[in-house]
Amino acid sequence: MADSARAHRLAKRILHIVASAIEREIKDPGLAYITITDTRVTGDLHDATVFYTVRGKNIADEPDTEAAAQALTRAKGQLRKIVGDQLSVRFTPTLTFELDTMPESSARMEELLARARKRDAELAKLRETATPAGDANPYKTDPEE
């Protein structure tokens, strides 16, 4: 069992190798809009999960995640060969590609935070003109004092 620091270093190295291979070495038009975001390697260094995102061809276009997944599946063997050539390990890890949903989650969280800030501003305006309910002095006082 390898230590987690070595697995982390190997994952980082695999991320750089796969990203540069997709950009420079593999000539598949399906890989043109893929960005590698993260890589995780198991503790035994035999399996690597590569996370990716897909952007659309234009800003208004929806990303074609199915075509990107198929392109990565086609290039999986070639990418593993490139990773194996550039790493100095006894066993080249198997590569598994997984769509990274973090950007969508963070966009949703930003939207919720913006709504909460807007509601807080509305409540602050209401608080400025608010008056307390009941008597001006709600505490019982002794009339003799």
Split at pLDDT 50, 70, 90, the class of 3 is confident
The β-bridge relationship of strands 94-99 and 47-54 is parallel
The mean per-residue pLDDT over the stretch 61-78 comes to 86
CATH topology of domain 4-100: GMP Synthetase; Chain A, domain 3 (3.30.300)
How far, in Å, CA of 15 to CA of 9, rounded? 10
Region of 112 on the Ramachandran plot (φ > 0 left; ψ -120 to 50 alpha; else beta): alpha
Q: Decide: 46 and 80 in contact? Cβ < 8 Å.
A: no
Note if the pTM is more than 0.85: no
**pLDDT, tens digit, 9 for 90 and up, residues 80-111:** 999 999 988 889 999 999 988 777 778 888 89
How far, in Å, CA of 111 to CA of 21, rounded? 35
Predicted confidence at residue 39, as pLDDT, reads 93
What are the residues whose beta carbons fall under 8 Å from the beta carbon of 78, sequence distance 6 or more? 21, 26
pLDDT at 27 over 70: yes
